[in-house]
Amino acid sequence: MKFIDLLRTAIGNTFRSKARTVLTVIAIFIGAFTLTLTSGIGTGVNDYIDKTVAAFGNDNALFVQKVSEQSTPGSNEGDGPTEYNPDEADVRLGFGSVSGLTDSDIDKIEKIDGVGSVDPMYLVTPKYLESASGKKFKLSLGSPPEADGLQLESGKAPERAKDEILLPASWVEPLGLGSNQDAVGKSVKIAIGNAMDQERTFTAKVSGVSQASLAGPSDNPIPSAGLNKKLYDYQVSGSPKKVPNSYFTATATVDDMSKVGAIKSELSDEHMQGRTVEDQLGMFRAVINGIVWILNSFAIIALLAAGFGIVNTLLMSVQERTREIGLMKALGMSGGKVFGLFSLEAIFIGFLGSAIGAAVAVAAGSILSGVLSNGLLSSLPGLSLFLFNPVNIAAIILSVMFIAFLAGTIPAMRAARQDPITALRYE
């Protein structure tokens, strides 16, 4: 028997006892529907995280910080006071200071094999931001490299050399800038104090408006690198003594991501800690993936149950069609072909259930996504809760068909082994 005839016969046979086929298909439908939806959530949320990762900066960026040498409980060198080191630079914060990276640290990072370039981050603590109408707002600034990955509502990222600033969407209205589009090109003032406690204002042009995101830094306005440097220079000016440069963090660009592990261990030898974007988001991602896999496993359990439905359906079918099988074997059909016929029936049932299930899940998920992002999840623009990836859906359909095939092997083997003489015996 040719494959096409075998397939046609199998499909025809599937519809012979419609009620039974429909019930089995429904069982598979439920499993495939759930699996498609949960995988849609996985794809949707992970896609959102990926966008957020982009908001944190480049994938190959390593964020380096000084590890404080202050005593930490349980550490070997820790007990007792730490000796004063005049070369160690502290970054002064409002509530104290933390150990910062010094210029020699930056040199050390640059020399590590695999590191391309190092950009120190200037910790700028402006006093306030003043809107055109004269209203003042508390201000903490984001770091310039973060601007590259942000999803923008309007405008563009600040240009390095210009005095520009990127505002979060939530700032536009309080500042009285009108719509997101209107805000672009308007000016705001940033006031900052120096070591002498003098105050100066810098004017910055709004280059664009960024979307809010779940885990990004974009809740803060982000100045251009140039503006940031200007602010920093003013901030450290006026001191009677030259203050050694110190940086809260530096961004190292890694040329070869496979060397990240080695770079991190070298950094930790130098009392520095390097974290990639993935490290920073790893926990978050792990939780989401965990939830998705729990949901997936429910769907897989449903599919396994449906698999037994297929076994049952086909066993009944084999029972009913004993004589037909016997006749086909008597007329020269090989056991292998009989096995193929029943396997194809199982696979077709699996295909029906999974294809319909996936299609309905995609439709339902897309509608639900649309409703949610205009309602419950409207505070998280850019998040579509269900995102359907054709490769995943194809994989789901194929694996359900494979489960169906496995389920079909028991009845198909029984059919293939049937002895034509016994089957044709007329009782």
Partner 1 sequence: MAAPVLETENLVKIYGRGDTRFDALKGINLEIGKGESVAVVGKSGSGKSTLMHLLALLDGPTHGVVALEGRPTGDLSAKELNELRNSAFGFVFQQFFLTPNQSVLENVTLPLKIAGVPAAERKRRGLEALEQLEMADKADNKATDLSGGQKQRVVIARALINNPSVIFADEPTGNLDSATSKVVEDILFGLNRDKGITLVVVTHDEDLAQRCGRQIYLVDGEVVPNLPKSTSGVGGERGGQPGTRPASSTTGPLQVTEPTTGAIVTLSEADAAEIARAAQEPPRAGRHAAPSTTDQPGATA
* List of residues contacting partner 1 (CB under 8 A): 1-2, 5, 9, 12, 16, 323-324, 326-335, 337, 420-421, 424-426
Paired with 222 in beta bridges are 166
- Please, which residue, 187 or 334, has the CB nearer to partner 1? 334
- Please, which residue, 395 or 421, has the CB nearer to partner 1? 421
Q: Choose among 221, 240, 241, 218: nearest CA to 231.
A: 221
Minimum distance from residue 25 beta carbon to partner 1 (Å): 18
Say if CB 115 and CB 255 are below 8 A apart: yes
200 membership: H or E segment, kind and range:
strand 199-210
- Please, which residue, 148 or 324, has the CB nearer to partner 1? 324
- The distance from CA 417 to its chain's CA centroid, rounded to whole angstroms, is 50
Minimum distance from residue 412 beta carbon to partner 1 (Å): 17
Neighbour count for residue 379 (Cβ, 10 Å): 10
- Please, which residue, 1 or 26, has the CB nearer to partner 1? 1
- Please, which residue, 259 or 323, has the CB nearer to partner 1? 323
Minimum distance from residue 390 beta carbon to partner 1 (Å): 34
Q: CB within 8 A of 351, min separation 6: which ones? A: 397, 400, 401, 404
Torsion of CA 301, 302, 308, 314, to 10 degrees: -140
Minimum distance from residue 347 beta carbon to partner 1 (Å): 20
Could you give the CA distance from residue 151 to residue 70 in angstroms, rounded to a whole number?
39
Minimum distance from residue 360 beta carbon to partner 1 (Å): 29
Minimum distance from residue 354 beta carbon to partner 1 (Å): 25
- Please, which residue, 132 or 316, has the CB nearer to partner 1? 316
- Please, which residue, 279 or 324, has the CB nearer to partner 1? 324
Minimum distance from residue 345 beta carbon to partner 1 (Å): 14
For 287-387, list the strands marked E by DSSP: none
Say if CB 16 and CB 345 are below 8 A apart: no
- Please, which residue, 38 or 418, has the CB nearer to partner 1? 418
Minimum distance from residue 309 beta carbon to partner 1 (Å): 22
Q: Is the dihedral of CA 108, 113, 118, 121 positive or negative?
A: negative
- Please, which residue, 200 or 323, has the CB nearer to partner 1? 323
Say if CB 265 and CB 114 are below 8 A apart: no
What spatial distance separates the first Cα and last Cα of the chain, rounded to whole Å? 29
Say if CB 214 and CB 47 are below 8 A apart: no
DSSP class of 101: B
Q: Where are the alpha helices (DSSP H) in 196-276?
A: 225-236, 260-269
- Please, which residue, 333 or 352, has the CB nearer to partner 1? 333
Residues in the chain: 427
Q: Where are the alpha helices (DSSP H) in 145-270?
A: 169-172, 180-183, 225-236, 260-269
Backbone angles phi, psi at 381, to 5 degrees: -60, 150
Minimum distance from residue 339 beta carbon to partner 1 (Å): 13
Minimum distance from residue 7 beta carbon to partner 1 (Å): 12
Paired with 118 in beta bridges are 252
- Please, which residue, 186 or 323, has the CB nearer to partner 1? 323
Could you give the CA distance from residue 168 to residue 213 in angstroms, rounded to a whole number?
10
Could you give the CA distance from residue 333 to residue 63 in angstroms, rounded to a whole number?
68
Minimum distance from residue 418 beta carbon to partner 1 (Å): 12
